Amino acid sequence: MTPTIHRSVCPYDCPDTCGLLVEVDGDRAVRVSGDPDHPFTRGTLCSKMNRYELTVHSPRRLRTPLLRSGPKGSGTFTPITWEEAVERIASRWRRIVAEHGGEAILPYSYAGTMGLIQRNSGHPFFHRLGASRLDRTICSPAKSAGWKAVMGETPTVDPDEVADSDLVILWGINAAATSVHFMHGVGAAKRSGARVWLIDTYRTPTAGAADRTILIRPGSDGALALGIMHILQRDGLVDREFVSTRVQGYGEFAATILPEYGPERVAALTGVTSMVIEELAAAYAGAAAPFIRLGSGLTRYGNGAMTARTIACLPALVGAYGTKGGGCFPDTATGGAFAMTEVTREDFMARPTRIINMNRLGEALTSPGEPPVMSLYVYHSNPAAIAPDQNAIIRGLSRDDLFTVVHERFMTDTARYADIVLPATSSLEQSDIYRSYGTYLVQRARRVIPPVGESRSNWETFSLLAAALGFDDPFFRQSADELIDHLLALPSPLRSGIDLQRLGEGRAVRLAAATDQSRFLTPSGKIEIFNPAEPEPYPRFLPTHEEHGAYPLRLMTAPTPHGLNASFNERDDLREKQGAMKLKMSGEDAGARNLVDGELVTAWNDLGEVAFRLEVSPAVPPGIAVAEGVWWIEFAPGERTVNALVSQRLTDRGHGSTFYDNRIDVRKR
């Protein structure tokens, strides 16, 4: 049989949403490459997706439903049929609902797949069941909250506009790991003479693409932005005409807030010298089109929303918003492209049910609630690895009275604690439609290979469970493709005039998004430095949770180019590229503890202890420890992984995670 080529989409939680070309031979995907027709990713893929067929056809794939036959956590299971699995789940849930009510059942999912149908297919089912709702805020809601406090619903610029910038500031983003294709535009800007500055807590791989790297004390980015604005005001570098006509509240902000953030104080807060702060302010004011690419990591502190809000004010002072190649780019906002209520179906709820924050899953599973969580259903997520306070989560998952179902492709840390494991399809085995949060593109993907083993998609599984529980709504009897067709039949201004033929062919098409930032969609119609709806009406520096913590080292739970959260641990080649589950420290901090490069060490705090292989690195400044990637316990040198050291505390706004706002110490193993 001659191999065939099919278009598809990378399903993972990345802003680029790459277009794929999948070579299929019989029932197997034999090669995955980038689609050169994709307007943003242009035929290149990251190292993870370049061999995606190794994930799809991994020998680790789960191929049949499993029933636990040993202690929770042992990973001991017996194969059963789908019919038996569905009946066991439905029967147990009926008893739980009868005894405790529907809210005793909790779904847990996030972004293991980013397709609009498969990602959200559990919402209508659990709404109909009357289950608790999950506050899905583990990533970067603080960034969104901070942006909206200043810019409201103003759309962000097209990311490709960075190519027209003459000063690019990569602020708190390791784009080499998390936004690879954005760097195409950065490279184009550099070739045209632009300078590229990186601001981060340690020297990440992205530093190789920067002309200058500025290392900042963790959680102090907002103070640096205030320091730059202080100098702009002090030296008469503010665009007065733009500020007077397009900005709300600058006068009071300049008179009452900015005087507190002179270079000397900001240097003490940030660890950046006053001379560098002065240089950065002068360069920013002198640029014709300064472009800030705002990362997510800098918002995963107790002050994360305020940090994003403060940085978003910077372009306003120099009139960069509305300038081609200038402004601030956090992410794109494409939520209005589809009528998602047609998928999530909030109308299926008989009444609003309680909301449990996903960052506090450990608390929800170990504290007596009203009602208690008696069943957990996990799909396209691995909370035992990726969620804060791993020890609390594992204590909860170990409860004998907790009925846990995990729908997964692999035997993850969470699946090992399940009572029933259901085999899940990969993105190549299911249909979906995708929108991006790093571009203004949408793309449809159809199934290109049959399911591996007895795997079923999220949509198919929830349809089976709905039938078993007697849900007679026709909604649950349609296919994923039928629901996609329904979404496309409903009009949206963002989809006005798009090429439906190209979309139907699986090609990426651009939404009709207005990206001109000269019109501000805020209550005042202006950029709102003053926002009376916020608890703090003006931006100012807020301390982090761990500004003065009991442990000496700030822990950075950073991304790696060879993984994505806990995804891709199934791949031997990618684990080998990472080398080991490492903790990076400066030579100064390692020497003070008599630690040697390459030895096993223990990192600890009040939440737990984790074993790492030590890497003494000149890229890490004193006072910081860096753990890149999220490993499965199976491949860890000890019994826990990095999130055993991370607290369940939330950000100032948005109820987000605070993965970077934790302290540890380190000793010999």
Residue type, 71: P
What is the end-to-end Cα distance of the chain in Å, rounded? Answer: 55
- What tokens does 336 get? 């209005």
Check residue 1 and give its pLDDT: 72
Contact 140, 266 (CB under 8 A): no
- What tokens does 514 get? 């207005």
List where CATH 3.40.50.740 sits in the chain: 66-138+335-490
List where CATH 3.40.228.10 sits in the chain: 142-330+516-528
Report which of 309, 173, 334, 314 is spatially closest to residue 653, judged by C-alpha positions. Answer: 309
- Quick count: other Cβ atoms within 10 Å of Cβ 367? 12
Strands 290-294 and 327-329: parallel
Contact 452, 439 (CB under 8 A): no
Q: Go through the chain and tell me how many residues it has.
A: 669
Residues sharing a CB contact under 8 Å with residue 172, sequence separation 6 or more, in sequence order:
199, 200, 221, 294, 295, 296, 297, 298, 299
Beta strands per DSSP E along 103-211: 105-108, 133-135, 167-171, 195-200
Fold of the domain spanning 4-56 = Phosphorylase Kinase; domain 1 (3.30.200)
Domain 553-668 CATH assignment equals 2.40.40.20: yes
Strands 609-616 and 582-585: parallel
Task: In the chain, count H helices and then E strands.
Answer: 22, 27
Check residue 518 and give its pLDDT: 73
> Could you give the CA distance from residue 587 to residue 500 in angstroms, rounded to a whole number?
57
- What tokens does 628 get? 């890149």
Report which of 165, 162, 166, 197 is spatially closest to residue 183, judged by C-alpha positions. Answer: 162
> Could you give the CA distance from residue 664 to residue 242 in angstroms, rounded to a whole number?
46
Strands 432-435 and 441-445: antiparallel
Burial group, residue 113, by CB count within 10 angstroms (0-12, 13-18, 19+): buried
Residues sharing a CB contact under 8 Å with residue 317, sequence separation 6 or more, in sequence order:
229, 232, 233, 237, 238, 239, 243, 250
Contact 219, 661 (CB under 8 A): yes
Beta strands per DSSP E along 497-623: 509-510, 527-528, 553-558, 582-585, 600-604, 609-616
Half-sphere exposure of residue 582: CA atoms within 13 angstroms, side-chain side: 20
Contact 379, 109 (CB under 8 A): yes
Cis ω for the linkage preceding 39 (within 30 of 0): no
Q: How far is CA 503 from the centre of its chain?
A: 26
Check residue 515 and give its pLDDT: 75
List where CATH 2.40.40.20 sits in the chain: 553-668
Check residue 333 and give its pLDDT: 85
Kindly report whether the global pTM for this prediction surpasses the value 0.75.
yes
Strand pairing partners for 171? 199, 294
For the domain covering 66-138+335-490, report its CATH number. Answer: 3.40.50.740
CATH assignment of 142-330+516-528, given 3.30.70.330, 2.40.30.10, 3.20.20.80, 3.40.228.10? 3.40.228.10
Contact 595, 617 (CB under 8 A): no
List per-block mean pLDDT (blocks of 10 residues) for the chain, which spans 669 residues.
Answer: 93 96 97 96 94 98 98 97 98 98 98 97 98 97 98 93 97 93 96 98 96 98 98 98 97 98 98 98 98 97 98 98 95 92 98 98 95 98 98 98 98 98 98 96 98 98 98 96 97 93 96 82 97 97 95 96 93 95 98 98 98 98 98 97 98 98 97
Alpha helices in 215-336 (DSSP H): 221-234, 240-246, 250-256, 263-270, 274-286, 304-317
Strand pairing partners for 379? 407
Q: Show the CA angle centred on residue 566, arms to residues 562 and 570, nearest 5°.
A: 70
Strand pairing partners for 616? 585
Check residue 216 and give its pLDDT: 98
Check residue 188 and give its pLDDT: 97
> Could you give the CA distance from residue 664 to residue 549 in angstroms, rounded to a whole number?
9
| Dihedral angle of Cα 227, 214, 556, 300, to the nearest 10 degrees | 40
Backbone angles phi, psi at 357, to 5 degrees: -75, 130
